[in-house]
Amino acid sequence: MIARSNQAEPFAVENLVVAYRAEPVLWNVTWSARAGAMSAIVGPNGAGKSTLLNAAVGLVPIVSGRATFWGETFKDARHRIAYVPQRESIDWDFPITAAQVVEMGITHGAAWLVPDFLPRWSRRLLGKGTARAESKTHGALERVGMADFARRPIGELSGGQQQRVFLARALAQEAELYLLDEPFAGVDVATEEILTSELRALARAGKTVVAVHHDLEDVADRFDDVAVLHRELVASGPAKATLTEATIVRAFRQPRAPLALDSTAHG
Amino acid sequence: MIGPASTDGTLARWFEVLTLSGGYNTNVVLFGVALLGLAAGAVGSFAMLKKQSLVADAFAHASLVGVAVAFLVQAWFHSWSGSPEAALAGAARPGPERNMVVLLVGAGIAGAAAVAAIEFLVRKTRLRADTATAAVSSASFGAGIATLSIARRVSGADQAGLDSLIFGAASSMTRADAYAMAALALIAALFTAVLFKPLRAVAFNDRFARTSGLPVNAIDIALGALVAAVTLAGMQAVGMLLVVALLITPCATARLWTRAVGPLVATSAALGATCGVLGVSLSRVLPSVPTGAVVVLIAAAAFVVSALFAPERGLLAGLRRERRMRAAVLVALRAPGDPGVNSGGAER
Amino acid sequence: MIPPPSDFLVLDAAPLAAVVLAAFTLALLGSFLVLQRQAMIGDAMAHSVLPGLVIAFVITGSRAPAPMFMGALGAALFASLAIAALTRYARVEPTAAIGVVFTTLFALGVLLVETTGARNVDLDLDCVLSGQLELLFWPIERGASPWSGESLDRLPQPLLTLATMWAMSVGAVLFGWRLLRATLFDRPFTQARGLRPGLVRGALLLLTTSTVVASFEALGSILVIALLTCPPAAARLLTRTLGAYVALSAVLGASAGLLGYAFATRGAPILIGGTIDASGSVAAAAGLILAATAMVTVLRRPVASPTG
């Protein structure tokens, strides 16, 4: 797997500027994730942490700058990346089972057009990948301890269980880069442990993990590297060394200076 | 629609109507619809802030079944007191005022029942407010159409009362109607003025309002009753299918110009009244245009202009701001002295 | 009381088939609309059909089905685009945007009907509201086999249009099943995987709009909404999985069509001595199904469901 990757970083942003309407949310951010490491993106609310990931995977338009994956654009590298969106962007009342969620990570090409409510034998005739997909789904759910819940609607699971199902979907994608938006938000202790150990296992296997994280207290325990965002990149590097008192004060306590855009606009 | 040759005459006639020299009947309608617009604009802004504008639409749609049933009950009463022939004749002309009051009572009951049904679905089941509103409104309208087909057969040709409620008949507005509108506008104005602060609190955050000791339920019910009264009054003028526009469009327009609740209510009420005056006067001078539709379209025109050109929330202002921001970003990133940046950021 | 079979074929077979087909298709597509919290968009589309029809009539000067269809489709699509533009770019609240757009278009339709002479050719408001089911008779010759080519040629055009929409919708839901489920559930993920959720939603909206327009002639524009929303709402209360939900919704829709039509043409004459408006009766039947379902679920639930 690692051999396939070329020398460039698995995930890098250069001079990234992203705006929500007329308000810049990310300002000139340049940062890259270390291959085979677990990196956390931290910062206060509204610092643009999630925006960084969303812009990188093409969900939010980039005003200026770029995001690259092993030196390629997201489109070209898409098949090597697993993305886990933020909890808030999902309608958890949607009638879909845990197994069906995980299958979204495996289904490819024409398989999307094969309805799966038909009897099993007829699906076998339609696509020979079905059995393999089923075992993959089962395996992924098993890794996060959710195999018993495969046929349960996602809305009937707890917040932590839902997050585990989303991780299972990412695992089933068998990617080389994992981008997770607030995976630890609002989950129980058991889920926290499963998430940490599974992500750690990925990193040990040479995969790269980048997660938006909200809790400063446990960053250093869970992650190798950290990037501190406060619309601009405040600091980045190994977690323990970077999260100094001064950095935290700069990112979390200081009011954000307004960008003097209008004065330069007419200049 | 308007022959170019008659344009001058039409303009002169329009001016005449606007300066209240269009005759007694015209003035009655003018005042009536203007006051209605005022009341609807004021009350509607709170309904909109509470995100309940479309509930008023459900109320109006559902009232059809009440109107049709009231009509049938009326006919039945007449048949009870006389021969069948007299019954049919009686349903046709029991005197317009009495007829209208009974129909409006029926409309109010059915509308209130629909609102209660929506509330029940939202509170007791997992259905969301928009689904419940659309389902109740359309199903009860269907029941109304079905009942109406019976009423139409019973009544034969004459059903002026029915049609004026469904499609609106502003031109048949009487002096008594205008007084009723005046009373309604007065009540709405007093209500919003006296209860302005509690209403604002309830509209913004009713949980907070509740903990701070406000009688939230009483205020909600009073507001709901006013919305219902405006809707019923508006049905006579613009019809049950369009009356909700009086409650929504002026408020949505006002919201594009102001954020504060006080100016919002005032602007919305003023807009409602203005659209009423313009709509009625135009429909008086142009041949064969329906008053209700014209009032609604004028309100809509004001909305479209505002949505495009309002200084802060308008579409064009937003686009201009965004373009300026993009230009500023590029300038700022190229500026010397900004660490680590030169041409790199601007190339895409 | 019960007409001879050939009368049934001539008078009732085609309207009944049209109602059931339309109800099935609307409820099928409506289930996805409700799932996306867009029941009100359907409401707005159905109201905006009127100006599209009149404009198409004014331009072409005839009531030919194809231009009418295009006009109505254009107006309905315009309504949904206008709502999207207002909420996204002018930051108008969704309910306000929907309310403004559909009342405006409906008022425009009313104005055009009254001023362009469209009224003289049967395009009046009543037929827009309640449809013209009674015009859908099947002019089959007495004694002729209903399956003969000649008889089939005489099937009313709206019925054929509805059958086409039914086939297209069922096909789209079957083959798009996984795509629909994935993109409607998790838009960011599917977009990141390169699946174009916007395109899927757009295609679904186009299909729904076309079905609304096609059903319009039989059922009337406003009653269409009852079938787009009531059966899915009832099905939502009774099911846990997407497959069961969508299938039940379509079945409940078809049942509402059947029951409503049967009551209007067979039950009402016995009860009140005359037929009633069939499309109104169908919409009311859909509402009653929802009411009964809601009652049953509320009464039968002593403990809170796991989702709360």
Q: What is the full DSSP assignment across A167-204?
A: HHHHHHTT-SEEEEESTTTT--HHHHHHHHHHHHHHHH
| Residues belonging to chain C with any Cβ–Cβ distance to chain A shorter than 8 Å | 35, 37, 174-179, 181-182, 184-195, 239-243, 245, 306-307
Interchain pair B324, A262: CB under 8 A: yes
A20/C contact by beta carbon, under 8 A = no
Q: How many domains would you assign to chain B?
A: 1
Of B141, B296, B313, Cβ closest to residue C222: B141
Domain contains C158: yes
Q: What is the structure's pLDDT at C246?
A: 96
At residue A145, φ and ψ (nearest 5 deg) are 70, 30
B175/A contact by beta carbon, under 8 A = no
What angle do the packed helices C14-35 and C242-262 form, to 10 degrees?
Answer: 150
Strand partners, A180: A84, A211
Q: Where are the beta strands (DSSP E) in chain A?
A: 11-20, 23-33, 38-42, 64-68, 81-84, 177-181, 208-212, 225-230, 232-238
Cβ-based contacts of B328 with chain A (< 8 Å): 261-262, 264-265
Domain contains C170: yes
How far does A66 lie from chain B, in Å, by closest CA?
8
At residue A68, φ and ψ (nearest 5 deg) are -130, 155
B288/C contact by beta carbon, under 8 A = yes
Instruction: Show the domain range for C23.
Output: 5-134+150-299
Testing the interface with B: which of A234, A236, A261, A263 to mutate, by most B Cβ within 10 A?
A261
Q: What is the structure's pLDDT at B127?
A: 92
Domain boundaries, chain A: 2-265
Per-residue pLDDT of chain A (267 residues; tens, 9 = 90+): 444 445 688 999 999 999 887 788 898 899 999 999 999 999 888 888 999 999 999 999 998 899 999 999 999 999 999 999 999 889 899 999 999 999 999 888 888 887 777 666 666 666 556 677 888 899 999 999 999 999 999 999 999 999 999 999 999 999 999 999 999 988 999 999 999 999 999 999 999 999 999 888 888 889 999 999 988 898 898 988 888 877 877 777 766 555 545 433 333
Q: What is the structure's pLDDT at B158?
A: 54
Q: How many domains would you assign to chain C?
A: 1
Token pair, residue C98, equals 């929907």
Interchain pair A19, B322: CB under 8 A: yes
Note the pLDDT tens digit of each residue in A102-147. 999 988 888 888 777 766 666 666 655 667 788 889 999 999 999 9
HEC assignment per residue over A223-242 = CCEEEEEECEEEEEEEHHHH
- Give Cα B236 distance to the centre of its chain: 12
Cβ atoms of residues B277 and B33 within 8 Å: yes
- Continuous H helices in C12-124: 14-35, 39-60, 65-89, 94-115
Domain contains C140: no
B47/C contact by beta carbon, under 8 A = no
Instruction: Show the domain range for B81.
Output: 21-246
Mean pLDDT by 10 residues, chain B (348 residues): 61 81 82 91 89 87 91 77 51 53 90 94 91 94 89 66 75 79 86 85 76 81 89 86 91 91 92 93 84 93 93 85 83 60 36
Strand partners, A153: A97
CATH 3.40.50.300 is held by the domain A2-265: yes
Domain contains B4: no
Domain contains B95: yes
How far does C153 lie from chain B, in Å, by closest CA?
32
Residue B337's CB: how many other CB atoms inside 10 A? 5
Q: What is the structure's pLDDT at A257?
A: 54
Domain contains C251: yes
Note the pLDDT tens digit of each residue in C64-112. 778 888 888 899 889 988 998 888 877 788 888 999 999 999 999 888 8
**Residue C217's pLDDT band (boundaries 50, 70, 90)?**
confident
Residue B323's CB: how many other CB atoms inside 10 A? 12
Q: Name the residue among C3, C11, C30 with its Cα closest to residue C254.
A: C30
Of B322, B328, B344, Cβ closest to residue A21: B322
Domain contains C216: yes
Residues for chain C: how many in total? 308
Interchain pair B328, A265: CB under 8 A: yes
Residues 173-232 of chain B whose Cβ lies under 8 A from any Cβ of chain C: none
What 3-state class would DSSP assign to A25?
strand
CA distances from C5 to C13, C139, C145, C236, C276 (A): 10, 14, 12, 38, 21
Q: Give CA–CA dist B96/B161, Å, rounded.
A: 7
Q: Name the residue among C202, C200, C216, C211 with its Cα closest to residue C51.
A: C216
How far does C150 lie from chain B, in Å, by closest CA?
35
Tell me the average pLDDT across C2-12: 66
Cβ-based contacts of A117 with chain C (< 8 Å): 177, 243
At residue A236, φ and ψ (nearest 5 deg) are -155, 155
- Give Cα B134 distance to the centre of its chain: 17
Q: What is the structure's pLDDT at B25?
A: 81
Interchain pair A28, B338: CB under 8 A: yes
Domain contains C145: no
B344/A contact by beta carbon, under 8 A = yes
Write down the ipTM of this complex.
0.89
Residues for chain B: how many in total? 348
Testing the interface with C: which of B138, B313, B321 to mutate, by most C Cβ within 10 A?
B138
Domain contains B8: no
Q: Give CA–CA dist C81/C62, Å, rounded.
A: 27
Token pair, residue C18, equals 């049209």
How far does A28 lie from chain B, in Å, by closest CA?
8
Cβ neighbours for B80, distance < 8 A, ≥ 6 positions apart? B87
Cβ neighbours for C82, distance < 8 A, ≥ 6 positions apart? C97, C101
Residue of A nearest to C34 (CA): A94
Q: Give CA–CA dist A226/A211, Å, rounded.
A: 10
Of B322, B341, B346, Cβ closest to residue A22: B322
Residue of C nearest to A54 (CA): C188
Question: What's the DSSP call for residue A153?
Answer: B
Testing the interface with B: which of A63, A66, A232 to mutate, by most B Cβ within 10 A?
A63
- Residue B157 identity (one-letter amino acid): A
Domain contains C306: no
Rg (CA), chain A: 20
Q: Give CA–CA dist B227/C290, Å, rounded.
A: 27
Interchain pair C178, A153: CB under 8 A: no
Interchain pair A66, B348: CB under 8 A: yes
Interchain pair B142, C283: CB under 8 A: yes
Of B325, B326, B344, Cβ closest to residue A14: B344
Q: What is the structure's pLDDT at B342?
A: 37
Interchain pair C189, A84: CB under 8 A: yes
Q: What is the structure's pLDDT at A123?
A: 61
What percent of chain C is predicted at pLDDT more than 90? 42
Cβ atoms of residues C265 and C12 within 8 Å: yes
| Whether residue C273 has pLDDT greater than 50 | yes
Cβ-based contacts of A28 with chain B (< 8 Å): 333, 338, 340-341, 345
How far does B80 lie from chain C, in Å, by closest CA?
17
